[in-house]
Chain A
Amino acid sequence: MGIINLAPKILDPIPGGKYVVNAIDYVVNWARANSIWPLTYGTSCCAIEMMSSSMARYDIARFGSEVFRSSPRQADLFILAGTITRRMAPAIQMLWEQIPGPKYAIAMGACTISGGPFIYDNYSVVRGAQNLIPVDVFVPGCPPRPEALFHGLLTLREKILKETCRNPWQVGEPKDVSTMDRYREAAKTWAALEEMKDEEMAEARAKFKEENPDYKSSFKPIRIKKEDFPEVERVPFKRMGLTQSDIYAKLKEKFPAVMVHTHSEDPVEDVVAAMPADRPLEVMVTPEDYLPMVEFIKDEASLKMDYLIDIVGIDYDDHFDVVSQFRSMEHGHKLFLCLQLKKDFSIPEEQRATALLAHAPSISHLYPAAEFKEREVYDMFGIDFVGHPDQRRIFLDDDFVGYPLRKDFTHPEMIRRPV
């Protein structure tokens, strides 16, 4: 605002000067409150609702905010649309510092207010944008409708209209409430209110009984008839490609050590033959057999598994399972290879949380798709893929301690549980 803020100092001593100051305020506020330019920023679901609000039906231009600026240098308003993660937090603070003042922030959606759906059992979400930057208006919802965003925008407009050159805009401080559990506080207040209400109701009921000793209610509850739904049989899926028994027989012929984990006493062949068509065959593989088997299923003409669907890690007490899911584009059958990796318990116990506990052969030279999937498994479980060309963390920062998808990852600061 700069020079306008000097207006009261110069004009107030002059007789009638304060009316001129008021007029300046009126004009300046009219201009500022009707042209709040937001920054084009959005991380997740709320961003789509923010976009919807600027499109034909909702038309944010009615409030003067249609000019979404891509550069923070040209924006006035920071609509925090979408979850803020720990990795994104520095970028958000940087963006906030780049916006020239007077600047405002709207926290849009439950995630930016408290963490929302991601408040508990989560290691990566910042619980509330007010920990990072000063927030002016909170808009609840998951995601908030465009109308709710407009309400937030109008609330901000009222706030701007209250600013005068006697009471100019000042940069706010982020509230450090990282140690406070906002939800727990709110729950306590809520419980206290409920208790108060119960007491009041009990008093009122006693009073009513005293005044009308022979009152009898004529209210009879009606039970809504529950709709009766039938039990429906599953429709069998159409089979594509080879049957599970055929694939199993082919694998067994080449790799005698291959196993299928069944939960019954019956012979494996019978269980595999009885599998429904939509259930892919999942075989257990030893680390030695893994690479030759992947080469075999890729090259064998009758199998031809040329498409890698995904690689999934699973953490058990003493071993990891790495499930590689393959599919044949030509034939249509699927095969899951479950690679069992024993955890390396020779590592001292205090170092286990941060150590790579198992080693697996990488298949990224056979399937380029595996490169990023293996990085994900490495990042989440701490499984070392031998031969991987570029083994780095993919979703988390390089200085992140531990591997979050392991069952023993219970970092007290990161993982908070409901009481």
Chain B
Amino acid sequence: MTGMLPPGFRIQRETNTEEFFINMGPQHPSTHGALRLALRMDGETIVELVPHFGYIHRGMEKQAESMSYLQYIALSDRQDYLTAIQNNLGVVIALEKGMNIGVPEKAEYIRVMLQELGRIASHLVFFACFGGDLGGQTCLLYGFKEREMIHDILEEVTGSRLTTNFFRPGGSRYDVPDTFIPRVKAFLDHMDDTMKDYERFLSKNIIVLERSKGIGILSKEDAIAYGCSGPVLRASGVNFDVRRANPYSIYDSFDFEVPVTYNGDCYDRYTVRIAEIHESMKILRQCIDRFPTEGPWRSKEKPVRLPVGRYYSEIETAKGLYATYVVAATTGEKPYRIHTRGPSFPHIAALNKMVQGHKISDLVTILATLDPVIPEIDR
């Protein structure tokens, strides 16, 4: 098609057939939220894809400028709501760098344990939605079943199921209850068995293999160039995990592996996430063994005031690299500007590269394995 193309489409090509355009979203069950994708089709093959964002752009960064730093921790819950507890930590680490306060050992263990629980919860939602998007609605039920157990633990510790708002500079809001460790232990014992079932559902399922192997291949060079992170990057053969590359909290004291696969297709992104659940469980078991029962669970309380400067923190959430950039132009309780780098944004930017030449049903698979959360893209 030559001549005028709708905004965003760029590929110029000669073809004998008539091309047409399909709109997918913003209300669509498999776009994982309010994402709109404009597709340029040649028959049933996708020629080009243009994502349109902003349907859930809530202006958090503008709002943060008139909020205090502590209030922004609550807003960070609502960016990537599947990993809310991890986003809290990302903001809090940036604030701690500015305030120059440390964290006692017990608080670090609480942090790491909640981080890994949050990671498992997010990957279970991935498992559920991946199965559901491929047509296996049963997976939805199974993934959310184990997730409720994590929600119970989170609710007991933080008081909330989803939007936790838990960490504070120097520690957390509360100490964990006595039931925390036994509960996590019980959850892990249960999870060991269920993971075997889960892997039996999908990992060797012929439908999953047919629909995900060799689909949506993202090469190593493209993954780095587009700024992908997390399981998407690791499935393309890049061994990058912030927990290893720039260890924060006490992650350098744990024995765990960073699962890496090299094909970069949908199946690899799935296997990386399943392997990560196992690694998270490994970290949790080490935490349980070493959890200090005595000692302070937070450092001395101080007013949250940051001196003039720019502070940057990065953590590895379940989706990938979550970076917070805080600009304090005056010493005080309010930020001059806070910017968040969410992991899903680059993934959707790279989506066009992955879907070219595939069918629409493959697009649904690819989108499911990118595991995007749209409010975190739009903020």
Q: Which residues of A contact B (CB under 8 A)?
A: 40-45, 47-49, 51-52, 55-57, 70, 82-83, 85, 87-88, 91, 95, 117-118, 120-125, 142-143, 145, 227, 229-235, 237-238, 240, 263, 278-280, 282, 306-310, 312, 314-316, 323, 325, 329, 332, 336, 367-369, 371-373, 380, 389-390, 392-397, 404-405, 407, 409, 415, 417
Report how far A82 CA is from B378 CA in the complex, Å: 14
Q: Find out whether the CB atom of A44 lies under 8 angstroms from the CB atom of B225.
A: no
User: Are A395 and B225 also in contact (CB < 8 A) when A240-B246, A332-B245, A389-B10 are?
Assistant: no
Which of B162-191 touch A at CB < 8 Å?
162-163, 170-171
Asked if B56 is at the interface (CB within 8 A of a chain A CB), the reply is yes
Counting residue pairs across A and B whose Cβ atoms lie within 8 Å, the total is 226
Beta-carbon contacts of B139-168 to A below 8 Å, as 1s and 0s? Answer: 011101101100100000000011100000
User: Are A307 and B227 also in contact (CB < 8 A) when A55-B144, A390-B10 are?
Assistant: yes
Contacts of B214 in A (CB 8 A): none
Measured CB to CB, the closest approach of chain B to A127, in angstroms, equals 12
Beta-carbon contacts of B69-91 to A below 8 Å, as 1s and 0s? Answer: 00000110110011000000000
User: In the complex, which of the residues B29, B162, B226 contacts A369, with contact meaning CB atoms closer than 8 Å?
Assistant: B226
Report how far A230 CA is from B238 CA in the complex, Å: 41
Report how far A278 CA is from B96 CA in the complex, Å: 12
Contacts of A51 in B (CB 8 A): 140, 144
Q: Find out whether the CB atom of A235 lies under 8 angstroms from the CB atom of B346.
A: no
Q: Find out whether the CB atom of B349 lies under 8 angstroms from the CB atom of A372.
A: yes
26 A-B residue pairs with CB within 8 Å: A41-B27, A44-B33, A45-B163, A51-B140, A55-B144, A57-B145, A57-B148, A82-B375, A85-B55, A118-B59, A120-B63, A122-B59, A229-B296, A229-B301, A232-B103, A232-B170, A234-B100, A235-B102, A237-B247, A309-B323, A309-B341, A314-B336, A332-B245, A369-B349, A404-B59, A415-B62
User: Are A314 and B58 also in contact (CB < 8 A) when A52-B148, A56-B144, A307-B224 are?
Assistant: no
User: In the complex, which of the residues A55, A314, A332 contacts B327, with contact meaning CB atoms closer than 8 Å?
Assistant: A314
User: In the complex, which of the residues B54, B67, B148 contacts A396, with contact meaning CB atoms closer than 8 Å?
Assistant: B54
Contacts of B245 in A (CB 8 A): 240, 332
Q: Find out whether the CB atom of A143 lies under 8 angstroms from the CB atom of B63.
A: no
Q: Which residue of A lies closest to B144 (CB)?
A: A55
Measured CB to CB, the closest approach of chain A to B234, in angstroms, equals 12
Given contacts A83-B375, A263-B308, 8 further A-B contacts (CB under 8 A): A82-B56, A95-B27, A123-B59, A124-B58, A142-B163, A227-B296, A232-B103, A308-B227
Q: Find out whether the CB atom of B55 lies under 8 angstroms from the CB atom of A43.
A: yes
Contacts of B147 in A (CB 8 A): 52
Q: Which residues of B contact A (CB under 8 A)?
A: 7-8, 10, 26-29, 33-34, 53-63, 65-67, 74-75, 77-78, 81-82, 96-97, 100-104, 125, 140-142, 144-145, 147-148, 151, 161-163, 170-171, 222, 224-227, 238, 240, 245-248, 252, 296, 298-301, 308-310, 312, 314, 321, 323, 325, 327, 329, 336-337, 339, 341, 345-346, 349-350, 374-375, 378
Q: Find out whether the CB atom of B102 lies under 8 angstroms from the CB atom of A42.
A: no
Contacts of B246 in A (CB 8 A): 237-238, 240, 278, 332
Report how far A274 CA is from B299 CA in the complex, Å: 25
Most buried by A among B57, B171, B312: B57
Contacts of B27 in A (CB 8 A): 41, 91, 95
Report how far A331 CA is from B13 CA in the complex, Å: 40
Q: Which residue of A lies closest to B104 (CB)?
A: A232
Measured CB to CB, the closest approach of chain B to A385, in angstroms, equals 15
User: Are A124 and B57 also in contact (CB < 8 A) when A52-B144, A314-B336 are?
Assistant: yes
User: In the complex, which of the residues B34, B145, B226 contacts A43, with contact meaning CB atoms closer than 8 Å?
Assistant: B34
Measured CB to CB, the closest approach of chain B to A380, in angstroms, equals 8
Q: Which residue of B lies closest to A323 (CB)?
A: B325
Report how far A43 CA is from B377 CA in the complex, Å: 12
Most buried by A among B56, B103, B104: B56
The 8 closest A-B pairs by CB, nearest first: A369-B227, A232-B102, A55-B144, A395-B54, A45-B81, A395-B57, A310-B341, A232-B299
Measured CB to CB, the closest approach of chain B to A20, in angstroms, equals 42
Report how far A329 CA is from B311 CA in the complex, Å: 21
Report how far A332 CA is from B63 CA in the complex, Å: 33
Contacts of B8 in A (CB 8 A): 390, 392
Report how far A336 CA is from B53 CA in the complex, Å: 26
Q: Find out whether the CB atom of B375 lies under 8 angstroms from the CB atom of A125.
A: no
Q: Find out whether the CB atom of A232 lies under 8 angstroms from the CB atom of B81.
A: no
Contacts of B312 in A (CB 8 A): 279-280, 325, 336
Q: Find out whether the CB atom of A125 lies under 8 angstroms from the CB atom of B58.
A: yes
User: In the complex, which of the residues B78, B296, B350 contacts A117, with contact meaning CB atoms closer than 8 Å?
Assistant: B78
Contacts of B227 in A (CB 8 A): 307-309, 367, 369
Q: Find out whether the CB atom of A325 lies under 8 angstroms from the CB atom of B62.
A: no
Measured CB to CB, the closest approach of chain B to A113, in angstroms, equals 15
Report how far A266 CA is from B131 CA in the complex, Å: 59
Contacts of A368 in B (CB 8 A): 222, 225-226, 349-350
User: Are A309 and B299 also in contact (CB < 8 A) when A56-B145, A123-B62, A233-B102 are?
Assistant: no
Contacts of B81 in A (CB 8 A): 44-45, 48, 143
Q: Find out whether the CB atom of A55 lies under 8 angstroms from the CB atom of B55.
A: no
Measured CB to CB, the closest approach of chain B to A338, in angstroms, equals 9
Measured CB to CB, the closest approach of chain B to A179, in angstroms, equals 21
User: Are A371 and B102 also in contact (CB < 8 A) when A88-B34, A279-B312, A395-B53 are?
Assistant: no
Measured CB to CB, the closest approach of chain A to B40, in angstroms, equals 14
Q: Find out whether the CB atom of A83 lies under 8 angstroms from the CB atom of B101.
A: no
Report how far A40 CA is from B28 CA in the complex, Å: 8
